[in-house]
Amino acid sequence: MNKTLPKDLFEAEDRLQNSIQQFLLKETDTRLSFFLKFEGLRLLPIVHRFSSFLISMGHDVIILFADAGGSALAKNNYKELSSNIYTFKEYLQKEQLNNQRKIVLAVGPRPYDYEQYEQVCNTHSGKVIMLNGLLEDPIVGIGTVARKRRAEFIRNWSEVFFLEPLSNGAIIKEYPFDWNLFAKSQTGYRYIKSFTQRPTIDEISESLINEL
């Protein structure tokens, strides 16, 4: 178990790629996710580097955006990947893209994208990797049946990598290891505790308070 935090975004991406590579080699789950939570994080460069990494491993990658604006920007910035980039809607309209040997990389789906994103995942017979997805819907008024369906959908994802700086610490998950919590001090970040499941906000707060 690595009891250190990445020193910067590039080291975090290296460790992310290693986690994904190990997961793809050892596990059969088809729904996996990773999350990098940094203020002001620009997703497109990460999408480019991660897609290039998967392609270098020999994978055929389809990059999906919920909206046409994100798709168009990615195609313009990374022309060598333009033929791999689509919106959720375009993917659902092109049956030839549904190939179990292809990996779908879904970029940042949000609660308002859920219905269409669920269709994408139900349609694709291969692996789907979700990058910085936020599917929990806090809006009051969603029906009980729909809420349960969404909760079940979210639970079916394997969190392969997660990194979030906190106000007084940080938390990281790297496959195949547990969730590791770090406390922030004047000398840097210090490992304090591991969790087999993602800790709740209360568990994180209590653990960090005990280290004061």
> Tens digit of pLDDT for each residue in 156-208?
999 999 999 998 999 999 999 999 999 998 888 999 999 999 999 999 999 99
Total-model pTM: 0.93
What confidence tens digit (pLDDT) does each residue in 123-164 have? Answer: 998 999 999 999 876 665 567 777 788 888 988 999 999 999
**Tokens, residue 200:** 């709740």
Nearest to 190 by CA among 166, 172, 169: 169
Please tell me the distance from the alpha carbon of residue 212 to that of residue 83, in angstroms, as a whole number.
52
Q: 31 pairs with which residues across the strands?
A: 128
What confidence tens digit (pLDDT) does each residue in 90-135 have? Answer: 999 987 777 778 999 999 999 999 999 999 999 998 999 999 999 8
Please tell me the distance from the alpha carbon of residue 66 to that of residue 19, in angstroms, as a whole number.
25
Helix (H) or strand (E) holding 102: strand 102-107
| In the predicted structure, residue 83 carries a pLDDT above the cut 60 | yes
One-character DSSP codes across 149-188:
HHHHHHHT-EEEEEEEEETTEEEEEETTS-EEEEEEETTE
